Amino acid sequence: MACVGNLGDPPPDSGPIAVPTQVVAARFPRLSHAQWEQTVVDLFHLDAPTRLSAAFTPDPLGGKAFDNNQSALEVSPSLWSDYERAAESIAASVTGDAAKLARILPPNLTEAPATNAMAFIMAFGQRAYRRPLRFDERNAQLALFASGATLYPDLDPFVAGVRLSITAFLQSPHFIYRAEMDAQSPLVGVALAPLGSWAIASRLSYALWNSMPDDELFRAAASGELAVPAGLRAQIERLLGSPRAGATVTRFFDQLYGGNQYTSLTKSKTLYPDFDPSVGAEMRAELGKFTGDVFQRGGGVRELLTSTTTFVTPRLAAIYGITKAPSGAPDADGFSRVELDPSQRAGLLTRSGFLAWKGTDSESNIIQRGVFVTRKIICQKLGAPPAAAQGATVGGQKTNRERINALTGPGTCGESCHGTYINAPGFALEHYGAMGEYRALDGDSPIDAAASFPFTDGPMAFADAVDFSQVLAKSPQVHACFSGFLLEYIAGRERVPADDPFVADLARRSLSGASARDLLVSVLMSDIVRYPLAITEIQ
């Protein structure tokens, strides 16, 4: 189910921007499995995740960049059965443990069963639905609560009612979906119908914490503070100040840059006799620590692409050729902060995890590295491979670059795509082998990493990966690419043409030095959060 939505209104200090236009966005975005899991933890004040979602029917992402993409989050019959089993399991667990039960009961229960039932339904229901219950919902839940004693005769009648209520609440569409049905009535002459404060609270909390609002955000929603820019910004800043926001930022970068792929590496035992697949988990953690450090220190796209700072374990240090022990003590995870050789490394594209993932068992993978950079860093659209390229194999040329060029470069069927957009970024990364180690030679031939890329504002030449990273960091196309992905993650949907004016504004600020945090706040202060739909006729 979907509706027409609006976005694009910037925060007061962001400068001029084009008038918002209509976009299609779901009014009933389903919780992702990760959001469901964390919401259950927060709803019941649990000490640890239930991990019940691990058995849920997987969501087929269908090539979507992020696991919160609304178009991929449907409820199939099998998933509905998963929700039912999980609800029953959680209800039994909570009501079968006096300590867990006490965490969700309202204070000052009385001796009057009806009063206690009402108090529980109103308090728990508001948290489960993430908004106050309507009159009809309250009455329906009270009737259900009363039937608990019949269904569970061995339990105390009040506990039985709680168990049945929990089971029902967790299967309700108002829990499973973030139903955004509280848009306010538009004013005369106003073409947008803003969301109510309760829906805005959920949008903020799921964007920054991947979970339901906390008590303070509920309070702000009830008071109406989220309806004014100052109140909205205050809550955004508060949420961003929590370690939970850091985990969500890490999740954004991890999904955007394929961190989960690092944990399934395979390499040639002949060329890499000491290779252990478990190093992939360290590479993934390095990605999280690196991107998190850039974000927390106020960095942006430029720092992501050019910083020489990273975090290493002894195994990662060996890949980077670091022989001197780090000066500082390792953190709790065993990682030490280091500065890499600036003549060999610059930013994300020269980190070991990405290079090892986009490497074969024995050598660099020019095509796969080039495709990733073109799609995820530059956002240059690529067409399907030509039919003549199907099944083609590299020849016996001396270097990897020569072989790829002979297969897909000038004069071949792949000239217009590979030769133009894919090969150049891959060539820039030829100084890095299958594990991301730096090398000067391909066999016994000096590596040529120079190339040129046709950006939308003109071609740019570069000498190697370090130079290429600097070129990328100065490209408006790259800043727009990052801004578009950030919008997609916060909005929970793919970017559409109507987003272009807003993305262009973000990109201009990013190119001028705005941090990733600044961009994130701008998205959260925009119409993407505040306005779900456009009103075409004002009554």
pLDDT above 80 (res 479): yes
Tokens of 231: 């109140």
Distance CA 267, CA 359 (A): 9
What pLDDT, in 10s, does the model give residues 79-99? Answer: 999 999 999 999 999 999 999
**Residue range 428-455: mean pLDDT, rounded:** 96
Residue 109 pLDDT class (50, 70, 90 cuts): confident
State the pLDDT at residue 27. Answer: 65
How far apart are alpha carbons 221 and 210 in whole angstroms?
Answer: 18
Whether residue 85 lies inside any domain: the answer is yes
**Domain assignment of residue 96, given as a range:** 30-176
Quote the pLDDT of residue 412. 67
pLDDT value for 192: 57
Q: Is 345 helix (H, G, I), strand (E, B) or coil?
A: coil
**pLDDT reported for residue 104:** 97
Q: What does the pLDDT average to over 2-14?
A: 35
Q: Under a CB-based contact definition with an 8 Å cutoff, are residues 409 and 418 in contact?
A: yes
Tell me the per-residue pLDDT of 345-389, one tens digit each, with 9 for 90 and over: 999 999 999 999 999 999 999 999 999 999 999 999 887 666 555
Q: How many domains does the chain have?
A: 1
Does residue 419 lie in a domain region? Answer: no
**Position 103 in a domain:** yes
Contact present, 222 and 316 (Cβ < 8 Å): no
Token pair recorded at residue 429: 């990364």
**Which residue in 121, 97, 7 sits closest to 46, CA to CA?**
97
Q: Check pLDDT > 90 for residue 497.
A: no
pLDDT in tens, 407-441: 887 766 566 677 789 999 999 999 999 999 999 99
| φ/ψ of residue 37, rounded to 5 | -60, -45
Separation CA 300–CA 318 (nearest Å) = 28
pLDDT tier for residue 180 given thresholds of 50, 70 and 90: confident
Residue 5 has pLDDT above 60, yes or no: no
Over the stretch 25-78, which tens digit does the pLDDT of each residue have? 556 889 999 999 999 999 999 999 999 999 999 988 777 889 999 888 889 999
3-state SS of 89-134 is: HHHHHHHCCHHHHHHHCCCCCCCCHHHHHHHHHHHHHHHHHCCCCC
Predicted local confidence at residue 327, as pLDDT = 82
Q: Identify the CA nearest to 302 among candidates 521, 65, 518, 528.
A: 518
Q: How far apart are CA 36 and CA 202, in angstroms?
A: 13
Lowest mean pLDDT among 15-24, 68-77, 240-249, 400-409: 15-24
Q: Quick one: pLDDT at residue 515?
A: 98
Q: Residue 36 falls within a domain, yes or no?
A: yes
Whole-number Å distance between alpha carbons of 539 and 533:
16
Query: What is the predicted pLDDT for the residue at 387?
Result: 58
pLDDT at 108 over 90: no
Mapped to the 3 state alphabet, what secondary structure does 144-189 carry?
A: HHHCHHHHCCCCCHHHHHHHHHHHHHHHCHHHHECCCCCCCCCCCC
At residue 6 the predicted structure's pLDDT band, cuts being 50, 70 and 90, is very low
Rounded to whole angstroms, the Cα distance separating 327 from 329 reads 7
User: Residue 321 region, left (φ>0) first, then alpha (ψ -120 to 50), else beta?
Assistant: left
How many residues would you count in the chain? 539
Q: Using H for helix, E for strand and C for coil, what is the string for 185-220?
A: CCCCCCCEECCCHHHHHHHHHHHHCCCCCCHHHHHH
DSSP structure class, residue 310? E
Q: Is residue 183 part of a domain?
A: no
Q: According to the 3-state scheme, what is the secondary structure of 403-453? A: HHHHHHCCCCCCCCCHHHHHHHHHHHCCCECCCCCECCEECCEECCCCEEE
The pLDDT of 293-316, averaged and rounded, is 97
Rounded CA-CA distance 494/473 in Å is 24
Mean pLDDT of 134-159: 96
- Mean pLDDT computed over 170-195: 71
Least confident span in 12-26, 249-263, 478-492: 12-26
Does the residue 492 lie in any domain?
Answer: no
Distance CA 5, CA 225 (A): 23
For residue 217, is it within any domain?
A: no
State yes or no: pLDDT of 17 exceeds 60. no
Structure tokens, 521: 């706040």
Query: How far is the C-alpha of 38 from the C-alpha of 388, rounded, in Å?
Result: 48
How much is the pLDDT for 181?
A: 64
Predicted pLDDT at 24: 43
Predicted TM-score of the model (pTM): 0.89
pLDDT attached to residue 386 = 61
Residue 376 domain-assigned (yes or no): no
Q: How far apart are CA 106 and CA 216, in angstroms?
A: 17
Q: Quick one: pLDDT at residue 493?
A: 87
Question: What is the share, in percent, of the chain residues with pLDDT greater than 70?
Answer: 88
489 Cβ neighbours under 8 A, 6+ residues apart: 65, 66, 68, 252, 255, 256
pLDDT at residue 285, rounded to an integer: 98
pLDDT score, position 419: 74
